[in-house]
Every structure is written in structure tokens, then in C-alpha cells.
Amino acid sequence: MSGKPLLEIKDLKVHFPVYGGVFQRRVNDVKAVDGVSFTIHRGETLGLVGESGCGKTTVGRAIVNVLRHVSPDVTLEGEINYFDDKGTKTNLLSLGRGQMKPFREKIQMIFQDPYSSLNQRMSVKQIIAEPLEIHKPTMSKKEVDDKVLWLLEKVGLQPEYALRFPHEFSGGQRQRIGIARALATNPELIVCDEPVSALDVSVQAQVINLMDDLQKEFGLSYLFIAHDLSVVYHICKRIAVMYLGNMVEIGSADDVYFTPTHPYSKALISAVPEPDPTSKNKGRIVLEGDIPTPLNKPSGCGFRTRCPMARAECAQLVPQMTTKRSGATVACPYVD
């Protein structure tokens, strides 16, 4: 990538405690994220894909640094480095709640469910104005009102909607309100946690096109978390594939979508539905075995219990991300 780095994640680990016994002691850990590293550059969209439970959403929540408030006993290790305009980096994981406030202005999040992510007791105007009241306390009431109406126009909603409440809108309109709220503080990075998965297909296209237009206008960077690989390919420049808390492949959207290298990436891409019913099952890779749990991960490579290329050595060491002859960055020493 030629762009400057905006966010760098190095060996991120997020382990949630599991308590048991009479005295409710910590007996185990759910290794939701177990050593993930990647970089997001300014102005780019990085897609983060993988099956349910692989740790995608946890990575997103770690970036906005809310996990300690959700689960105070969570174990967070590694680095999440944010780079300002001058290239100075700050490890977000080392910051307390008060220290994080300036960075929340630059890093916002769009949530998966547009129904539960909006406060039903607040009007649209109050929802979009809340970030401004927190991060821009010097703005006058008129300036806030004008900014709210401007944001509604930017996301394709009418100004009169400002006085309505979330229950009066459709799912696509609610997600547009969520996007307007995320844009309120002029962020540089937006973490999009499956922003279109709860929407109809036609509405998905509208929201994706809106996000694409906003990125070009404001120079935004996205971390786009999703299940739908066709959507990810449409909007993302690069794609990162996760499996059971680990990164298995990172590459350009074309390389990962059309010529995946890692065995799991190949199986994941082969499962993308095709419009032609006669070719639906051509080249489909069906993985055998049960999906392991992050509560008790296999030793070594977490994918080895389902991998058609697995060898005895795979149980000994966790594979590291390396660049192969094909140019792909893959966590597997045997793909060549």
C-alpha cells in the first residue's frame, strides 16, 4: 500500500474469563482474538471476513476501546497504534477512559443492528447531536442544529426527519441515521460491524453506495466487518480472513476473492453463492470435522483439525503470517 498507515494492530489478544465452581473462580479463558496483526492505511477500506465466532466483532470493539467497560476482567494484550497526521503513534490499549476521548472523536463505529443501536427515546436530532455535544462543547446550539441537518442531507434523509424517532423509520433509514451519527465528529476511521447484514439486498446496495460516496468525499478509512464476501469484494481494497481468533490470509481484494491461497480462504470463497444454478456446486470445498471452540483451541494451527493439508507438524507451532511466492501473506508454511 502506498498510503500512510492510520491504524496498526500488532499481536492483539483478547481473552474473556470463564468462571466456575462454588467460589466462581476463573477456570478458563475464551480466546476470542489470539494474536492478530494488520494495518489500515489512510483512505482505504480493509475487509475483515470469517465465519461466526471467529473474533471479527471483538477486533472492532477492541479498536474503539470499549471492551474493558463491557467486561472489566477481559485480558487485552498487544498494541493498537493510531497514527496522527504527523505520523506520531499512540497505543490505544494503554489509554484510560479519560485519555481515550480525543481518539473517540477520530474513530467511530457503525453497528450491525440498526434497531437496537439507536436510543428509541431520543429523536433523530438528539441522536446525531449527542457526539457533537460531547466532543465539540464549544459549538453553539444553532451550529449543532445546522450540522445535524447537513448530516441528514449527506446520508440522503429529509431535514424534517430530525424531529422523528427511530421507530418511525425503516431498517435502511435507521442505518443511515447511524452513519450520520458516526460522521458527526469528522472521524478518520469508521469501524463498520456488519452494517448491511440486517438489511434487504436492495437496501444493502444503497447503503454500500452511500458509504463509498462518503469515503471519496471525506477521505475516510473503513474497517469493514462482514459475512457477505461479494459485498466485501465490492467495497474493499484489501481483504483479511480470520479463523478462530487468528489471521490466516491478507491480500488485495482481487487476489483473495479470485485466487485465495490459504486452505480456509479457498473453502470460504467457494461457499459464495452463484446466480447460475447449474454451476452452484462447481468447485465447492466442503470442510470436514466440527468447528473447534475458542474455549479449547487445538494446539498449533487452529485450522489443522479441518485442513486437508494438515501434517503432524501443524500441531506443534502456531503458523506465522509470511509472504509466499504468489505474493499473498498467509499463515501456512505448506501452501507453496
Give tens-digit pLDDT for 48-88: 999 888 999 999 999 999 898 888 899 999 999 999 988 89
User: What pLDDT digit, counting tens, does each position of 16-34 carry?
Assistant: 999 888 888 888 899 999 9
pLDDT at 278 over 70: no
Best CA proximity match to 3, nearest among 42, 40, 38: 42
Number of structural domains the chain divides into? 1
189-240 residue pLDDT tens: 999 999 988 888 888 889 999 999 999 999 999 999 998 888 899 999 999 9
Which pLDDT does position 98 carry in this prediction? 81
Domain that holds residue 324: 5-106+188-198+220-330
Cα 86 to the chain's mean position, in Å?
Answer: 25
- pLDDT confidence band for 280 (50 / 70 / 90): low
Domain membership of residue 9 (yes or no) is yes
Mean pLDDT of the chain, nearest integer: 91
**Does residue 173 form part of some domain?**
no
208 occurs within a structural domain: no
The predicted model gives 282-293 an average pLDDT of: 80
Strand bridging mode 246-252 / 322-323: unpaired
Of the listed ranges 69-73, 130-134, 302-306, the one predicted with least confidence: 69-73
Tell whether the model's pLDDT for residue 275 goes beyond 80.
Answer: no
CATH at 34 = 3.40.50.300
The kind and range of the H/E element at 178 are: helix 171-183
Quick one: 281 exposed, middle or buried, by C-beta within 10 A (0-12, 13-18, 19+)? exposed
Does 175 fall in a domain?
no
- Core vs surface per residue 5-25: b (16+ CB within 10 A) or e: ebbbbeebbbbbeeeeeeeee
Note whether 30 and 16 are within 8 A (CB): yes
pLDDT > 70? residue 279:
no
Long-range contacts of 302-308 (CB under 8 A, 24+ apart): 302/34, 302/243, 302/244, 302/245, 302/246, 303/243, 303/244, 303/248, 303/263, 303/264, 306/264, 307/263, 307/264, 308/263
Say how far apart CA 24 and CA 14 lie, in whole Å: 21
Asked whether residue 192 is domain-assigned, the answer is: yes
Position 256 in a domain: yes
pLDDT above 50: residue 36:
yes
Does residue 320 sit within a domain?
yes
- Three cell numbers written together for 279: 454451476
Q: Which of 1, 27, 3 is nearest to 15 (CA)?
A: 27
What pLDDT score does 229 carry?
Answer: 87
Residue with the three cell numbers 503513534: 89
Q: Are 57 and 225 in contact (CB under 8 A)?
A: yes
279/268: higher pLDDT: 268
Strand partners of residue 90: 82
What is the per-residue pLDDT for 1?
46
pLDDT recorded at residue 281: 55
Q: How confident is the model at residue 277 (pLDDT cuts 50, 70, 90)?
A: low
For position 282, what pLDDT does the model report? 59
If DSSP codes are grouped into helix, strand and coil, which group holds residue 57? helix
Does residue 73 belong to any structural domain of this protein? yes
Strands 238-243 and 246-252, by their bridges, are antiparallel
58 near 65, Cβ under 8 Å?
no
Decide if pLDDT at 287 tops 90.
Answer: no
Classify 188 as helix, strand or coil.
Answer: coil
